[in-house]
Copies of this chain bind each other. A is one copy, B any other.
Amino acid sequence: MIAETFASPQDVEQAFYKAFERADLTAMMAVWAEEDDIVCVHPGGARHSGMVEVRESWRQIFAQGPGLQFHLVGNRVFSGRMLSIHSVYEHVTVAGETRPANPVLATNIYLLTDRGWRMLMHHASPLAAPAASKESPPSVLH
C-alpha cells in the first residue's frame, strides 16, 4: 500500500476516525507522522510514544474488531503554519448497544510533514460525569 498524502489536517482527522471505525491498523498507522515524537493517549490510559508503542496500542484495540462509530461534536481548531490543534468531543456509538457511550474529549494535533499533513498527537480522556445528563431524562423507556 502506498501511503496516502493528506492535503489538510481535516483530511487526516477524517482518515483517523475512519480507520478507527474499521479497526484497520494499516490505515490507522498511515495517518501518523513518522516521528519519534508522536504521542497517543487512550481514555484513562498511559502515554504511548513513538511508532512501535503507538502501533501496538492500536493493534490491541483493533484486536476486538470494528464496532465503534464516531460522531465529532464541538470542534475547536487552532491552526498554525506547520501545526494544527483540534479539540473535539467524540460521541461514540458501540455496535449492539442502544445507549451511547459517555463522550470522550480528544486533543488531536496535526503536523505538516514533507509527506503532507499527518497526526502528531492524539490525547483522549474520559468525561467523569456524563455531559449529556441534563438532556437525557432518566426514565424514558427504561
Contacts and interface: CB of A to CB of B under 8 A. Distances in A.
A126 interface: yes
A67 interface: no
A82 B41 CA distance: 24
A113 interface: no
A96 interface: no
In which size bucket is the chain A interface? 20 to 34
A37 interface: yes
B105 A85 contact: no
B120 A41 contact: no
Which 8 A-B pairs give the minimum distances between C-beta atoms? A125-B125, A44-B128, A37-B78, A107-B123, A83-B83, A39-B87, A80-B83, A80-B82
22 contacts: A39-B76, A39-B107, A41-B107, A43-B125, A44-B126, A44-B128, A45-B128, A46-B131, A47-B76, A49-B87, A78-B120, A80-B83, A81-B81, A85-B109, A85-B120, A85-B121, A87-B121, A87-B123, A123-B125, A125-B125, A125-B126, A126-B128
